[in-house]
Amino acid sequence: MTRHPRQPSCTPAEPTRRRRDLAAVGLGLLLLVATAGCTGPVRSDGVYASKAAATAGAAGSAVQTAELAVQEAAAGRLFSRGLAQTLAEAASDAGDVQATFDAIQPPDRRSEVLRGQLDRLLTPAASALADLRIAARWGDTAALPSVAAPLPELAAELQQFQEAHQ
Amino acid sequence: MRKLLEIALGVLTAIGGFVDIGDLVASTETGARFGLGLAWVLVVGVLGIILYAEMAGRVASVSGRAVFDLVRERLGAGVGLLNLAASFFITLLTLAAEIGGVALSLQLATSVNYLLFVPIVGFLVWLVCWRVRFEVMDNAVGLLGLALVVVAVAVWRAHPDWGAMWHSATHPVVPGTESHTAYWYFAIALLGSAMTPYEVFFFSSGAVEQRWTRSDLVVNRLNVYIGFPLGGLLALALMVAAALVLEPRGIDPSHLSQAALPTSLVLGKLGLALALLGFFACTSGAALETALSCGYSVAQYLGWPWGKFLKPVQAPRFQLVVLASITLGAGLLLTTLDPVKLTEYAIVLSAAALPLTYLPLLIVANDPAYLGDKVNSRLSNAIASAYLAVLVVASVATIPLMIVSKAGGG
Amino acid sequence: MRLSELLGAEVVDEHGHTVGKVHDLRLVEEGPLLGGVGPGLRVEGLLVGRRALGARFGFDRGAVRGPWLLEAVFGSLGHEGRYLPWGRIRSIQARQIRITGTAGDLPSPEPLGEVPLHRKPAEGSWWIRK
Amino acid sequence: MARRLDAALELLDRQLIGNGGTLAGKVDDLELTDPGGNLEPPRVTAILTGPAVLAGRLHTPVGRWLARVAARLLAPGQDQLSRVPFDQVEAVGASIRLRVAAGQLDAGAGEARVGRLVGRIPGAGDAA
């Protein structure tokens, strides 16, 4: 956007075209940026496996967050509102992660097997986190440790899954 | 004695005012994902903002001119307008992110959905911009922001293995679970969060608001040379806390609540309360700074009267821009855009726009027509040039890295 | 006529060769004008160059010294500039300025005569009407 | 020796300050007048300021659009051009001091209009 007009050597048609090209490139960039974080269609099982690994990582992060929050609450280090908030976020993250992953079409049979394996971890994780959220909202602090009992094992399995398919 | 107190107050304000939602998010996230592998970027970023904020303060003190005023003079109307559009857009995104940060801190303390707080926070931010004296506003939020020191205390009380931490900070490696593109993407985000352009808009305009003159050059240096590094230490503490507590558990934080978990783990409820107070104060402070910066940049580009030292009727167009920016920022949040995601985009775009602000500033800081004998020394020019080169590289690399690393995602 | 109509205009010599674009107008102080309140400013000539980048920063003309890196990058871009005395202009139309003679016999611009290096910034102005 | 200055480097885009010390916009353009109408060296006869002038200077559609929006928002239906005769200029330095007050410029009408609007908000007339 300078004050100086275009190069004198250009024919009148060129600058317009150049401007249009520039606009197209800009628009393309904008779209790319906007979609940079989104999930696209998956064509190869390698890509599917890496998406599965990332999903396991994200679910593991939610499980570990909940686990840490419950530990802190049990030790009297977290007040109930902070706990409820943290657990609600963890539960909703786990649900989102699972929904996003389930929406991806597995490209082949092998990927379908992988999906089954991961789903067997995601479903109990999401449901345990939902249970925790409900217990925390009701102020049922005493019940939390028992509801949270399966979390460490789930977290470990999710981590193993992530490392195996990275 | 009174002068000394004033200086001490200024430095304390600079410490508390250094951290904003960008630092909270970037430091916690990089600490949790890369341990201390990106701590060096924080050091680079803090040194950079020290270097350029000092210049901005010096230019403002000696010539009475704020940064955007000079951007227009140096870059001309066309390039200056492009710069204004980019800077305003990024500052507006940051403003929205800060309002979101305030609302999220309140949600953590009350369990009430943050969206309900957004209009209230927006209104209060406007009210302070409208009514409260600059010095009172600046000092109050800065001092409250000092509550964040609790994060550093938590790190201390966690008795970490300092030797191992030093080693991992000085021998950075990319963790096996992360890609190199994600590493560099977050390096740029961290740089953007430390050197956010609004910081120099606000710092230089603030110097004009407080009518700094040549005699305040010492105050400027003390604020910058002591206040900023200590503020940077708070950002580092957030990163270390995340590296100690979140990284080993594989937690990739995506909520403000997770940034507080390490502090409550070590220090319990009181620590948590102080951390939340710190989050609240530093995001509120930054919300005010970004709201005013929106007004400053537009008014300075167009040569309108601006500033809180004027009655609102004396600077109505400035006040109108501030009001409109807050409304737009709050409106953006009410679309239920995730404030943490918004913050990530704001700091990365800040990084891309850094040369736009820092190049004209560096040129003016060498112009005796503005600074007389107070132009840059050879040493600061040498360092500033090296920084500018780094900023240009980072700026060019930002968008490609964003695309390749899928915005830092897995 | 407005300044902005001249800035960026293309300068062409009598053989039809492009000399460059107008980057700036050099003004000279000239005695009483309009009501006799002091000197006015008259256009003395045009600064013409091929590239605009850097001209704006004044590395080639003003008092800005350093940093070395910026001088190297922007200063060198301004050095190929030429000075076009107003008297050599034959016509001005539609953002094109035709001149007498050739591009080759245009001199290099002189540095600005009196650069206000010594004055106190902010308060001091170097061009004041009595 | 007569003193010289370069218009784009040292006048254009500089800050205007009214005689009360109020900021009065930027030098958005200069008016040059050809005294004989015969390609005599022109003289600087006025400083032009205001969004409309700025819009005329921008050579990109986006720039012109932005400036036009600004002009319309700030004073709908007004020309938004201020012409300050050059004999009203008191001093040229890092900024340009005028002999007239900021409020007397036509482009200041936008400020006045916005001022009436902002003035209705409680507390607008009080110092913070």
Domain ranges of chain A: 45-165
CA distance D119 to chain A (A): 36
pLDDT band at A31 (very low <50, low <70, confident <90, very high): low
Average pLDDT value for residue range B73-100: 92
* Chain D CB within 8 Å of residue C63 CB: no
Give chain C's domain count: 1
Q: Residue A81's pLDDT is what?
A: 87
- Whether residue C67 is preceded by a cis peptide bond, meaning omega within 30 degrees of 0, is yes
Residue A19 pLDDT greater than 70, yes or no:
no
* Average pLDDT along chain C: 74
Q: Are C68 and C74 in contact (CB under 8 A)?
A: no
- Measured distance CA(B126)–CA(B325) in Å, rounded: 10
* Chain D CB within 8 Å of residue B40 CB: no
Q: Residue D104's pLDDT is what?
A: 74
The residues with which C98 forms a beta bridge, in sequence order, are C12, C91
3-state secondary structure of D43: strand
Q: Residues A90-147: pLDDT tens digits? A: 999 999 999 999 998 888 888 899 999 999 999 999 999 999 999 998 888 888 999 9
pLDDT band at C28 (very low <50, low <70, confident <90, very high): confident
Domains of chain B by range and CATH?
2-404 (1.20.1740.10)
Non-local (6+) Cβ contacts of B216 within 8 A are: B61, B207, B210
Chain D residues inside the 8 Å CB shell of C93: none
C-alpha count within 13 angstroms, C-beta hemisphere, residue B123: 5
Contact A3 C7 (CB under 8 A): yes
Q: Residue A37's pLDDT is what?
A: 47
Least confident of A69-83, C31-45, D90-104: C31-45
E strand or H helix at B345, and its extent? helix B339-364
C-interface mutation test, from D1, D6, D29, D48, most C Cβ less than 10 A away? D6
Look up the CATH number of the domain holding residue C40.
2.30.30.240
Q: Residues B37-71: pLDDT tens digits? A: 999 999 999 999 999 999 999 999 998 889 998 88
Residue C95 covered by a domain: yes
Residue C121 covered by a domain: no
> Which two three-digit tokens encode residue B67?
């940064």
The residue of chain C with its CA nearest to that of B389 is C69
* Chain D CB within 8 Å of residue B78 CB: yes
* Chain B CB within 8 Å of residue A40 CB: no
Residue C115 pLDDT greater than 60, yes or no:
no
CA angle, B180 then A154 then B27, to 5°: 40
- Residue recorded with tokens 């009436």: D116
Q: Residue B281's pLDDT is what?
A: 94
Q: Residues B252-292: pLDDT tens digits? A: 999 999 999 999 999 999 999 999 999 999 999 999 999 99
Contact D42 C42 (CB under 8 A): yes
E strand or H helix at D48, and its extent? strand D43-49
Longest dimension (CA), chain D: 58
- Measured distance CA(B146)–CA(C7) in Å, rounded: 52
Residue C128 covered by a domain: no
Q: Count of B–C CB contacts within 8 Å?
A: 55
Contact D111 B316 (CB under 8 A): yes
Chain A residues inside the 8 Å CB shell of B264: 72, 77-78, 82
> Which two three-digit tokens encode residue B327?
């409304």
Residue C130 covered by a domain: no
What are the two backbone dihedrals, phi and then psi, of residue B387, each rounded to the nearest 5 degrees?
-65, -40
* C72 vs B26, more confident: B26
Q: Residue A13's pLDDT is what?
A: 41
- Measured distance CA(B133)–CA(B117) in Å, rounded: 24
What are the two backbone dihedrals, phi and then psi, of residue B280, each rounded to the nearest 5 degrees?
-60, -50
Q: Residues B101-127: pLDDT tens digits? A: 999 999 999 889 999 999 999 999 999
Contact C70 B362 (CB under 8 A): yes
Q: Are B282 and B292 in contact (CB under 8 A)?
A: no
| Cα C74 to the center of its chain, rounded Å | 16
C-interface mutation test, from B58, B366, B376, B387, most C Cβ less than 10 A away? B366
Chain C residues inside the 8 Å CB shell of D12: 3
pLDDT band at A26 (very low <50, low <70, confident <90, very high): low
Contact A3 B265 (CB under 8 A): no
Radius of gyration of chain B (CA): 20
Nearest Cα neighbor of B298 from D26, C75, A116 is D26
Q: Residue C121's pLDDT is what?
A: 40
In the stretch 319-358 of chain B, residues with CB closer than 8 A to chain D read: 319-320
Residue C120 covered by a domain: no
Q: Residues B350-398: pLDDT tens digits? A: 999 999 999 989 988 988 878 888 889 989 999 999 999 999 999 999 9
Residue C129 covered by a domain: no
pLDDT band at B293 (very low <50, low <70, confident <90, very high): very high
Q: Residue C123's pLDDT is what?
A: 43
* Average pLDDT along chain B: 92
Domains of chain D by range and CATH?
10-33+42-119 (2.30.30.240)
Q: Residue B76's pLDDT is what?
A: 84
Nearest Cα neighbor of B201 from B360, B8, B332 is B360
* Chain A CB within 8 Å of residue C6 CB: no
Chain B residues inside the 8 Å CB shell of C56: 74-76
The chains found to touch D (3+ Cβ pairs under 8 angstroms) are A, B, C
Helix spans in chain D (H) = 7-10, 51-57, 61-74, 108-119
- Beta strand pairing call for C96-99 and C125-128: unpaired
Average pLDDT value for residue range C57-73: 70
> Which two three-digit tokens encode residue B354?
């850094």
* Chain D CB within 8 Å of residue C21 CB: no
The Cα-based distances of B234 to B158, B255, B278, B375, D10 in angstroms read 16, 19, 11, 31, 43
Residue C31 pLDDT greater than 50, yes or no:
yes
Average pLDDT value for residue range B146-173: 94
CA angle, C97 then C100 then C106, to 5°: 90
Q: Residue B116's pLDDT is what?
A: 97
The residue of chain C with its CA nearest to that of D85 is C34
Nearest Cα neighbor of B28 from B286, B260, B272, B187 is B260
Nearest Cα neighbor of B128 from B279, B323, B262 is B323
Q: Residues A69-78: pLDDT tens digits? A: 999 999 999 9
Residue C35 pLDDT greater than 60, yes or no:
no
CA distance A12 to chain C (A): 14
Residue D3 pLDDT greater than 80, yes or no:
no
- Measured distance CA(B191)–CA(B34) in Å, rounded: 15
- CATH dotted code for A45-165: 1.20.120
Average pLDDT value for residue range D36-45: 80
pLDDT band at A8 (very low <50, low <70, confident <90, very high): very low
Q: Are C112 and C72 in contact (CB under 8 A)?
A: no
A76 burial (CB, 10 Å; 0-12 / 13-18 / 19+) is exposed
- Measured distance CA(B344)–CA(B353) in Å, rounded: 14
Q: Are B194 and B234 in contact (CB under 8 A)?
A: no
Q: Residue A34's pLDDT is what?
A: 53
Residue C20 covered by a domain: yes
Non-local (6+) Cβ contacts of A18 within 8 A are: A6
Q: Residue A15's pLDDT is what?
A: 45
Chain B residues inside the 8 Å CB shell of C57: 74, 363
This model of the complex carries an ipTM of 0.83
Average pLDDT value for residue range A148-156: 94
Q: Residue C32's pLDDT is what?
A: 53
Residue A36 pLDDT greater than 70, yes or no:
no
- Measured distance CA(B235)–CA(B27) in Å, rounded: 6
Residue D122 pLDDT greater than 90, yes or no:
no
Q: State which residues form the domain around C100.
A: 3-52+83-105
